[in-house]
């Protein structure tokens, strides 16, 4: 998957960072991604509550771990765990 990191803060200052990836399906929309303490823990919780994994946990090198899910109503969302050692 092609994926680019986007930073919005000035050098050395925080910003609202994010990423940009290639469209994987026709009509794909914005996907909100939330910060979590453990992607593994929250994968279990999502599945236990009727959600499904759309893209399994994978590394964003130097940034952290990312996974995407679909809730029971069909909404897609992501979860990101910060971990600069992710490879």
User: Would you write out the chain's pLDDT as a tens digit for each of its 87 residues?
Assistant: 577 777 777 787 777 777 777 777 776 678 899 999 999 999 999 999 999 999 999 999 888 999 999 999 999 999 999 999 999
Measure the CA–CA gap between 79 and 87, rounded to whole angstroms: 17
- 52 closest CA partner among 24, 27, 71, 38: 71
What is the pTM for the complete model shown? 0.74
- Would you report the helix, strand and coil content of the chain in percent, each value rounded to 5? 10, 40, 50
CATH topology of domain 25-87: 2,3-Dihydroxybiphenyl 1,2-Dioxygenase; domain 1 (3.10.180)
Q: What is the DSSP string of 2-31?
A: -EEEE--SPTTS----EEEE---STT----
């Amino acid at each position: 998957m092609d994926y680019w990191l986007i930073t919005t803060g000035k050098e050395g200052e925080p910003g609202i960072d994010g990423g940009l990836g290639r469209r994987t399906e026709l009509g794909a929309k914005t996907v909100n991604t939330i910060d979590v303490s453990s992607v593994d823990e929250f994968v279990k919780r999502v599945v236990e509550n009727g959600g499904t994994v759309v893209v399994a946990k994978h590394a964003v090198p130097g940034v952290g771990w990312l996974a995407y899910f679909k809730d029971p109503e069909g909404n897609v969302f992501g979860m990101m765990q910060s971990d600069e050692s992710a490879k």
